[in-house]
């Protein structure tokens, strides 16, 4: 095991990262590394804490709290995916406390709610905490659309060795000159040797919920169900005009002719991607 680490290094301690990368890149287009929450804890975080060989993965070892999320994404790329996974240690905010230090680069992570208990076959295995990234200093930081899920094992094993801890030291340790002082502070400030984090960018609701006009030549209109744009419409109106389906071409199939009549769709709806009830009266 190599101990030649520098602050903020991304070298993997117990995985052959090059072999994993070669294998994952050999998969056909469309394959994604997207484990469920319980799988992340059982098959990746737990073996990591036990210093066991992990399955091939796209989880990087990094001092996550040394960077803002944009820096991490630029460094590692997307692999065609929309989520990024990292193993990182977690440090205490105060030496004698249990609160984690959430400072990260030019901002900080802020929890958005209580921990969610993760279970496997009814057994409690770990916890997931949701956080959002703010730029600047608390409590007046600027909220961003970067989100993180932080995964912790319920009963983590023994702590890392001093050699392994030197690979990922708490930020404040770098200012100490005495090796003994550094090792003591490492243990005092370390809260978790490893946690697993999933980072992603929150989608724009206004875009996601907007009406989408299909580009097929028949002018079939496709809408995303649940859009606020249609929140006030009478449910009975939908059956006469629209069939909600991700494949507009199905609407033209003979099997759907009893449910779909293009002549019922006003041109204004086709052009604007929206429709008001023909019986709806405008009130002042």
Q: 8 — alpha (psi -120 to 50), left (phi > 0) or beta?
A: left
Query: Which residues, including other chains, have CB under 8 Å from residue 98's CB and lie 6 or more apart?
Result: 92, 191
Question: Does residue 154 have a pLDDT over 80?
Answer: yes
Mean pLDDT throughout 101-105? 91
Highest mean pLDDT among 92-101, 123-132, 170-179: 123-132
What predicted TM-score, i.e. pTM, was given to this entire model?
0.59
Please tell me the predicted confidence (pLDDT) of residue 49. 92
Reported as half-sphere exposure (CB side, CA atoms, 13 A), residue 92 has a value of 12
The yes-or-no verdict on residue 1 having pLDDT over 90 is no
- Ordered by start, the domain boundaries in the chain are 17-201, 205-272
| Separation CA 230–CA 275 (nearest Å) | 8
Asked if pLDDT for residue 245 goes beyond 50, the answer is no
pLDDT band per the 50, 70, 90 thresholds, residue 27: confident
Cα 169 from Cα 90, distance rounded (Å)? 10
Phi and psi at residue 254, in whole multiples of 5°? -60, -30
Helix spans in 26-159 (H): 37-40, 46-49, 69-76
d(CA 66, CA 136): 14
Q: What is the pLDDT of residues 46-80, one digit of tens each?
A: 999 999 999 999 999 999 999 999 999 898 876 66
Structurally, what CATH architecture does the domain formed by 17-201 represent?
Beta Complex (2.170)
Pairing between strand 190-201 and 83-91? antiparallel
Residue 271, pLDDT score: 54
Q: What Å distances lie between residue 24 and 20, 116, 270, 277, CA to CA?
A: 6, 30, 43, 51
Residue 205 phi/psi, 5-degree rounding, is -60, -40
pLDDT at 181: 53
The three-state secondary structure class of 31 is coil
Residue 33 neighbours by CB distance under 10 Å = 14
Q: Indicate whether 5 pLDDT > 70.
A: no
Cα 245-251-257 angle, rounded to 5 deg: 135
Q: What is the mean pLDDT of residues 143-155?
A: 96
Q: How many whole angstroms separate alpha carbon 142 and alpha carbon 134?
A: 5
Return the minimum-mean-pLDDT range out of 31-40, 76-85, 235-244: 235-244
């Amino acid at each position: 095991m190599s101990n030649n680490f520098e602050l903020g290094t991304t070298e993997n301690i117990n995985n052959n990262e090059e072999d994993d990368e070669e294998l994952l890149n050999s998969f056909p287009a469309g394959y994604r590394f997207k484990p469920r929450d319980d799988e992340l804890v059982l098959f990746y975080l737990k073996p990591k804490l036990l210093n066991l060989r992990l399955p091939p993965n796209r989880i990087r070892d990094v001092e996550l709290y040394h960077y803002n999320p944009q820096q991490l994404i630029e460094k590692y790329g997307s692999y065609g995916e929309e989520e990024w996974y990292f193993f990182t240690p977690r440090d205490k905010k105060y030496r004698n406390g249990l609160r984690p230090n959430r400072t990260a680069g030019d901002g900080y992570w802020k929890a958005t709610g209580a921990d969610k208990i993760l279970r496997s076959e009814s057994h409690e295995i770990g916890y997931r905490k949701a956080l959002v990234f703010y730029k600047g200093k608390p409590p007046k930081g600027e909220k961003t659309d970067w989100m993180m899920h932080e995964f912790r094992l319920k009963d983590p094993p023994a702590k890392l060795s001093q050699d392994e801890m030197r690979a990922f030291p708490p930020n404040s340790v770098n200012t100490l000159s005495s090796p003994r002082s550094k090792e003591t502070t490492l243990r005092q400030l370390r809260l978790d040797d490893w946690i697993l984090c999933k980072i992603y960018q929150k989608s724009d609701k206004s875009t996601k919920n907007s009406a989408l006009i299909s580009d097929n030549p028949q002018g079939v209109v496709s809408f995303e169900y649940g859009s606020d744009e249609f929140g006030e419409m009478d449910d009975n109106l939908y059956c006469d005009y629209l069939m909600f389906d991700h494949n507009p071409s199905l609407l033209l199939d003979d099997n759907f002719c009893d449910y779909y009549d293009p002549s019922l769709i006003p041109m204004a709806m086709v052009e604007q991607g929206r429709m008001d009830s023909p019986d709806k009266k405008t009130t002042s």
